[in-house]
Every structure is written in C-alpha cells, then in structure tokens.
Amino acid sequence: MSIDAVIAWVDGNDPAHRQRLQDYLHSLGGHVPVTAHPTRFNDAGELEYCVASLFRFAPWFRKLHIVTAGQTPGLLRVLERSAFAERIRLVDHAEIFRGYEHYLPTFNARTISGALWRIEGLADQFVYFNDDFMLLRALRETDFFDRDRVVLRGYWRRQSRFSWSKRLARLWSRGGAGSHAAQEMSAELAGFEREYYYSYHNPYPMRRSTLERYFSRYPERLEGNLSHRLRSPQQFRTECLALHLEIAQGTALLDNHLRTVQLKPREQAAWRVRARMAQADRDPRVAFACVQSVELASSAMQGQIFAWLDRRVGRLDALIAARCVQGDHHA
C-alpha cells in the first residue's frame, strides 16, 4: 500500500516570513499574542533529523511532502543528486489553500494541518509529522495502517462539560486554544458528545478520502478552520477530527504499544531531559521523539540533545554516504 509522509515546516528566521508576520500583527494594532511567540516559528535544525529518521527507519514511505510558505529548507541542497532527492516534494501553502487564498499568509499550525489533505497527488493514506517529530527505531507500515484500519494512540476522556474539575480548569485557563479543548471540539464534530479519544503527541496517520468526504458535506467547517491566521479557541484539530471519524465508522485500531518521548528543555529541568533521553534508550517501545523549542535551551543542553539525536537518528550527509557505499558494493 502507498503511504506518504507530510511535514509542516517554517523558518521563523527568514526575513520575508518575519516581515509578513509583523505586517499582519500591525494590522491587528501591533499586539503580539502568545500564539505569535517566535518559538512557534523558529527552526533549530529539527527538520533534518525528522527527514533523516523517515529515510532511515521508514524507507517504505512513498513520498515526503514538506509543506511551507515560499521557503526552501537547506536540507534540499544536501539531498540534491542523492538517491533520496526524488522522494522529497516541496509544497507551498498556495497549493493546499487553493480556493481559500484570501486567508494567506497564515501563521497557524492548526490551520495549516487542516489543509494538508488537499496536497495534489497525495496518497490516500498519509502520516502527518510536525517538523520536531523524529522516529527512533525501525517501523513498519502496519504501525500506522493495519489493513483497512488507521492505528491510533491515546486514551478516552470525558468531555469537560460533564466534569466539574475540567470545567473549572477551562475557566481558569480563560477558554484558551489548548489541545484538550480543540480535541474535544473535534470529537463533537464527529458525533462524540460525552467523551473523546485524547490523542498523544505523536505522528498522526490519516486518510485523505475520509476528510474529503467529511468536508464535502460540511464545507463551512473547513473554511471556518482555515480562516484563522493565528491559533484560535474556535478551531478544531483536523488530525483529531480524522481519528474520531475513523472510530465512528469502525476503521480504527486503538494500539498504544509504541510511545513518544517529549523533550521540552524550555520547561523541563536539565536532569529531567537527560533522564528522558536515557529512558528512551532503555525502552524499545519508545519509537517517537518530539523535541520542542530546543533553541530556548542552554547551549550545553542543546549540545546534549543534538548529540543524542546524532546517535539515535543520524544526519542526512551520513545517511547519503552510507547509501552510496551500499550502491558501490551492489555494483
């Protein structure tokens, strides 16, 4: 079966991107909301590890689609003329927002992820990766799609309106655009009113046809979600809507045997980050890593994280060199 990978990426250090964001914020009166914090757009080289991990640990992916806005990641120069080059495709936001171009430019990952299924030529089965996701071990197609079922990772939770503690927590957070609230909304749109399947932060398998059918029936929901240029509490998460649609139609497999290690050096103490990396090394069930806001860590901690990724994933130039050696041996 054909499965594609889709990676959403942005380089917040790009002067053109910064200017577009500043112009948009100026149109709002100059206020900089939390959802426009620079760390949401910064690139510290995580994309290279993401791509290298897919080539190394999931070589069965048909295509890797990197979705961005008028930007070209430097790794394409590394891959140029290599055996991997033809499997990478750069996708501009204009392609996935065709018909909705008036909502561009957008600076909202939730908006962008909601349009990924509209990539031209995308395989019906695809896996969505944030650019700070990496694979840590060899995986099979069946770890994401098992015959006619989409493999989901998470657990069931009660909707907040049926839990006083959650309602109070929601009020305390002033109804922000948090993950739980967005996932609850996504479940409701799929018909789950009392509970929702909370999805772990990991790569998200989806089917284009499932979303295409749904949004052909509810085009106003698609447009409403795409209209927000910055993250909004009015938005649902399309990847979570997709998983609830699969559950509703009996085409989901709930399986948590693979796990994710989340490294958040901005929030976690240095000892905790090191402990999580060590635990991931010991536990073969840890198949995914998510490294968030690494640029905000100390230089020492950044060095330790990248050294760990070099060991667990490796860099593209080393991967290309190894492929060339293999080719020479086969010749």
pLDDT digits (tens, 9 = 90+) for 59-114: 999 999 999 999 999 999 999 989 999 999 999 999 999 999 999 999 999 999 99
- State the pLDDT at residue 35: 67
Residue 211 gets the label, from left (phi > 0), alpha (psi -120 to 50) or beta, of alpha
pLDDT tens figures, 278-290? 999 999 999 999 9
For domain 3-330, give its CATH number from 3.10.450, 2.60.40, 3.90.550, 3.40.710. Answer: 3.90.550
CA-CA-CA-CA torsion sign (16, 21, 26, 30): negative
Enter the DSSP assignment of 235.
P
pLDDT band at 26 (very low <50, low <70, confident <90, very high): confident
- Rounded to 5°, angle at Cα 150 from 138 and 195: 120
Beta strand pairing call for 259-263 and 125-130? unpaired
- State the pLDDT at residue 179: 80
| Tokens 């559950």, located at residue | 247
Q: How many CB atoms lie within 10 A of CB 159?
A: 18
CB half-sphere exposure, 59, CA atoms < 13 A: 5
Token couple for 159: 């909707």
pLDDT tens figures, 216-270? 999 999 999 999 999 999 999 999 999 999 999 999 999 999 999 999 998 999 9
- Output the CA torsion 205→182→201→245 (10° steps): -20
- State the pLDDT at residue 28: 83
The separation between CA 195 and the C-alpha centre of its own chain, rounded to angstroms, equals 24
In sequence order, what are the residues at sequence separation of 6 or more whose Cβ sits closer than 8 angstroms to the Cβ of residue 120? 95
- State the pLDDT at residue 69: 94
Specify the 3-state DSSP secondary structure of 236. Answer: coil
| Tokens 């667990």, located at residue | 312
For the stretch 320-330, what's the b/e string if a residue is b when 16 or more beta carbons lie within 10 angstroms of its beta carbon?
Answer: beeeeeeeeee
pLDDT tens figures, 147-206? 899 999 999 999 988 765 555 555 555 545 578 899 999 999 999 999 999 999 999 999
Token couple for 279: 């635990």
The separation between CA 162 and the C-alpha centre of its own chain, rounded to angstroms, equals 30
- Rounded to 5°, angle at Cα 202 from 95 and 186: 65
Please, what's the largest Cα pairwise distance for the chain? 67
Residue 292 gets the label, from left (phi > 0), alpha (psi -120 to 50) or beta, of beta
pTM of the entire structure? 0.91
Beta bridge partners of 149: 146
